[in-house]
Amino acid sequence: MKNNTINKKEIEKFSKIAEEWWNPEGKFKPLHKFNPIRISYIKENIINSFKLNNINKPLDNVRILDIGCGGGLLSEPMCRLGAQVFGIDASERNISIAKLHAKKNNLNIDYKCASPENFKTETKFDVILNMEIVEHVEDINFFLESCSKLLKKNGIMFVATINRTLKSYLFAIIGAEYILRWLPIGTHDWEKFVPPDELIRIQDKNNLKLENLVGMKFNLIKDEWKISNDQSINYIGKFIKN
């Protein structure tokens, strides 16, 4: 019986650069650029699924768990949109940065240092965010199984990750890490990238059915990300728990 999804090397890697989380020109610059498209996709899909209609706080009272929350780049916007947000991360350093930043901004977010298999909670969540995390865990099958146990029936799990293709090797590793230096060298391991069909198969075993899957593409000229039909590099899936 497996009981741990934490990849210590990956945690150390991100803990070392934790101070950089909120610097839009720092080591997490790509995530800052990525954030607007992630937020809008998540927000629209939650509103449509749960038929929400609060204009001022569109995600009012939606209970969200942000897994691998890092410094809180997604947790904070979700909280500002009215959601009740919980963030977990296996790095103590990340959690302390996230807590400090939320406090500075008067945001009520419940952060804990935990991984999904050892996160204790009384009630389940309406929405789980697994954004850019599955390619960094020790055992993706056990990780997603543990996550699914934390999700309510008819709840939504969003998973954003990188496809395992030649194109993703050229762009996400050679391009982003070695040529453009967007990310520290060694941030990604191509072998750990996840093809959509593999992700769908794993989710299926956990009673999570795919509702939609979109690609995300970076436009170098406009310097921005957009939703695309091209899933050969970055993609995001929306799964509903049966």
What distance in Å separates the CA atoms of residue 115 and residue 219, rounded to the nearest whole number? 34
| Run means of pLDDT, 10 residues per run, the chain, 242 residues | 80 90 91 95 98 96 97 98 98 97 98 97 96 95 98 98 95 84 84 96 98 94 93 97 96
CATH topology of domain 8-241: Rossmann fold (3.40.50)
Among 6, 106, 114, 27, residue whose Cα is nearest residue 67: 114
Q: What pLDDT is recorded for position 175? A: 83
Query: Which residue shows structure tokens 């050679």?
Result: 174
What distance in Å separates the CA atoms of residue 143 and residue 206, rounded to the nearest whole number? 11
Give the domain ranges of the chain: 8-241
Six-digit token string for 52: 């929400």
Are the CB atoms for 240 and 158 separated by under 8 Å?
A: no
Q: What pLDDT is recorded for position 2? A: 58
Q: What pLDDT is recorded for position 27? A: 86
Backbone angles phi, psi at 187, to 5 degrees: -60, -40
What distance in Å separates the CA atoms of residue 91 and residue 89, rounded to the nearest whole number? 5
3-state helix, strand, coil in the chain (%, to 5): 40, 25, 35
What distance in Å separates the CA atoms of residue 28 and residue 206, rounded to the nearest whole number? 32
Six-digit token string for 14: 């991100």
The strand pairing partners of 144, in sequence order, are: none
